[in-house]
């Protein structure tokens, strides 16, 4: 099951990248029906099939390149759905052996909802709310698969774990970093949602100057319009006016600044803290590296006018950044240290307590606490 989960994790990442590529090549409606393409399991290529497809959908004539982009995305997404179904079945069968059950079932429900969102994306003509929901759903599937893999790997190695001991002050610092890591998840997810809304409304190039936007952007702000859904028969290429798109773009840039400084502070905090393990420091270094790459890609999108490869990588690295934060949070959850404190006993002043149990001071000292590979086991 662990190997299948790992395969599904990589497959989910491929699906997210293909989804971004499909969206950025304006191929979201490359096949105007669902789940097939012009009533076929593959893209119609023969003259007869193309003629029949054009007759059935005169408003959307066959464009083979866009249609193949859409169908390849669907093929991979369908394969991912089958893998998640297999994981859920295995989890039910192995539920008495300590295999996680709730998370695989949640994943199965999530993948079914994702399929519905994929259908609505087409049938509702790229309605921005649905497109953004489909994007967030993809990230949710990826995140759940990652957490499931971490849990399965930890289950296989949990017998080798040793609880780490912290002083009272170090324990307090550790708890604060754990809370900040949880908040970091919310910050990154919010920024991904802002980016998804900007992309779904074709506002990525609403501002082409740095650091904020073209002159006079302050007078163009329209938050109510930017985060509403105007009436339209088709949302391809966007239905919002320029001021509303500028607002979306500026909010995404503002969110990027908040995310950058927050994740930077969190990563540095983990690196310099004595309460964190070597594994957690390594995760933070990787997280900070992903953050720098993501910011560079975001700036490149503006400077080079949204190159396709850079824009796709911007989506991919956003997923990597989110997973690195989830990795850090998971390491905090599974490596809760024991709190070591001085016992105020008049008859035994040299005794310490470890999680409420008295132990002789000779068994350890504040300079020779048992070290464990803490952090991210399994």
Residue range 334-369, pLDDT digits in tens? 876 655 544 344 444 443 333 443 444 333 333 333
Helices within the chain (DSSP H only): 2-24, 47-56, 64-93, 102-123, 128-157, 168-200, 223-226, 242-272, 278-303, 308-334
What are the angstrom distances between the C-alpha of 203 and each of 83, 245, 252, 255? 35, 5, 10, 15
pLDDT at site 214: 87
pLDDT in tens, 151-194: 998 887 765 555 555 566 777 888 899 999 999 999 999 999 99
Average pLDDT, whole number, for the chain?
Answer: 86
Confidence of residue 275 (pLDDT cuts 50, 70, 90): confident
Whether residue 320 has pLDDT greater than 70: yes
Tell me how far apart the alpha carbons of residues 355 and 332 are, in angstroms, rounded to a whole number.
18
pLDDT in tens, 198-242: 999 999 999 988 888 988 899 999 999 999 999 998 999 999 999
Whether residue 56 has pLDDT greater than 70: yes
Tell me how far apart the alpha carbons of residues 171 and 283 are, in angstroms, rounded to a whole number.
20
HSE-up of 173 (CA within 13 Å, CB side)? 15
Strand partners, 340: 167, 354
8 Å CB contact between 70 and 22:
yes
Give, as one character, the DSSP assignment of residue 40: B
Among 47, 161, 155, CA closest to 103 = 155
Buried/exposed 279-294: b ≥16 CB within 10 Å, e otherwise: bbbbbbebbbebbebb
Whether residue 18 has pLDDT greater than 60: yes
Tell me how far apart the alpha carbons of residues 106 and 92 are, in angstroms, rounded to a whole number.
12
Confidence of residue 98 (pLDDT cuts 50, 70, 90): confident
> Is 70 in the active site?
yes
Options 70, 164, 165, 244, the catalytic residue:
70
Range scoring the smallest mean pLDDT among 133-137, 165-169, 324-328:
165-169
Dihedral of the alpha carbons of 257, 263, 265, 270, in degrees to the nearest 10: -170
8 Å CB contact between 192 and 259:
no
Whether residue 6 has pLDDT greater than 90: yes
Average pLDDT over residues 50-60: 92
> Quick one: tokens of 238?
């966007």
pLDDT at site 347: 43
pTM: 0.85
Give, as one character, the DSSP assignment of residue 274: T
In this structure, the chain runs to a length of 378
Tell me the three state secondary structure of residue 165: strand
């Amino acid at each position: 099951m662990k190997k299948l989960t790992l395969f599904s994790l990589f497959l989910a990442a491929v699906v997210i990248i293909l989804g971004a590529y499909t969206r950025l090549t304006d191929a979201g409606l490359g096949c105007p029906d669902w789940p097939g393409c012009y009533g076929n399991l593959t893209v119609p290529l023969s003259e007869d099939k193309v003629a029949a497809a054009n007759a059935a959908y005169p408003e959307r004539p066959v464009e083979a390149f866009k249609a193949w982009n859409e169908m390849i995305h669907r093929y991979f997404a369908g394969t991912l759905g089958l893998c998640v179904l297999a994981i859920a079945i295995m989890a039910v069968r192995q539920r008495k052996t300590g295999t996680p059950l709730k998370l695989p079932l949640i994943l199965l429900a999530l993948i079914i909802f994702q399929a519905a969102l994929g259908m609505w994306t087409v049938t509702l003509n790229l309605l921005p709310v649905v497109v953004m929901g489909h994007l967030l759903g993809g990230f949710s599937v990826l995140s759940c698969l990652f957490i499931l893999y971490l849990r399965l790997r930890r289950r296989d190695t949990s017998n080798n774990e040793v609880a780490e001991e912290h002083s009272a002050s170090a324990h307090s610092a550790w708890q604060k970093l754990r809370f900040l890591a949880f908040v970091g998840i919310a910050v990154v997810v919010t920024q991904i949602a802002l980016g998804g809304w900007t992309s779904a409304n074709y506002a990525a190039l609403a501002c082409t100057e740095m650091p904020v936007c073209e002159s006079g952007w302050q007078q163009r702000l329209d938050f109510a319009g930017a985060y509403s859904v105007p009436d339209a028969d088709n949302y391809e290429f966007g239905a919002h006016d320029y001021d509303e798109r500028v607002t979306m773009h500026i909010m995404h840039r503002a969110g990027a600044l908040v995310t950058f400084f927050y994740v930077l502070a969190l990563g540095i905090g983990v690196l310099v803290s004595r309460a964190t393990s070597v594994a957690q420091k390594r995760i933070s270094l990787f997280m900070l590296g992903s953050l720098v790459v993501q910011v560079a890609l975001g700036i490149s999108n503006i400077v080079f006018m949204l190159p396709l490869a850079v824009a796709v990588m911007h989506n991919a690295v956003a997923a990597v950044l989110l997973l690195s934060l989830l990795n850090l949070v998971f390491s905090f959850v599974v490596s809760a240290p024991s709190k070591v404190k001085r016992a105020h006993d008049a008859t035994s002043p040299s005794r310490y307590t470890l999680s409420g149990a008295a132990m002789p001071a000779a068994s350890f000292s504040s300079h020779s606490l048992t070290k464990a590979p803490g952090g991210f086991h399994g």
